[in-house]
Amino acid sequence: METERVNILLMDTHATEASKVKTFLEQHSELPFCVSHSASRSSALQFLKGKSIKVDAIILDLFLIDPINPKETYRLIRDAAGDTPIIVMTGRKGHALACEVTAEDASHRR
């Protein structure tokens, strides 16, 4: 029986950081996967709405270059993603914001 591949949408403005995440997954994953990279909120939303492939998980850097605040970016992606899990990643300076955004989301989903 063939194992299904896991489809991940990686949202990060910086190609170098996206490459590091992909390399980490390749080295530590036991499952086959495909990473689709979006460098902006608008391209990620377009990808999610296009539904060309089923996305199993989203890895989101809250601090994209798009001129919108990180909370709004998270909300827009969450709304477009439906039940798809979102993993938030950010640099040290954004740790508190990442916790705040995901906590707000968890309380809304109850």
Q: Where are the domains of the chain?
A: 6-108
* pLDDT exceeds 70 at position 71: yes
State the Cα–Cα distance between residues 91 and 31, nearest whole angstrom. Answer: 27
For the beta carbon of residue 17, count every other beta carbon within 10 angstroms.
14
State the Cα–Cα distance between residues 72 and 94, nearest whole angstrom. Answer: 15
Domain spanning 6-108, CATH class = alpha beta
Mean pLDDT of 42-61: 88
pLDDT band with cut points at 50, 70 and 90 for residue 25: confident
Helix, strand, coil percentages for the chain (3-state, nearest 5): 50, 20, 35
State the Cα–Cα distance between residues 25 and 92, nearest whole angstrom. Answer: 21
> pLDDT tens digits, residue range 6-15?
899 999 988 8
Indicate yes or no: pTM above 0.85.
no
**Looking at the DSSP assignment, which residues form a beta bridge with residue 36?**
9
For the beta carbon of residue 28, count every other beta carbon within 10 angstroms.
7
* pLDDT exceeds 80 at position 66: no
> pLDDT tens digits, residue range 79-98?
999 899 999 887 766 677 77
Q: Which of 107, 7, 109, 110 is nearest to 58 (CA)?
A: 7
What's the pLDDT score for residue 13?
A: 87
Q: DSSP per residue over 31-42, as a string?
A: S-EEEEEESSHH
Mean pLDDT of 58-71: 80
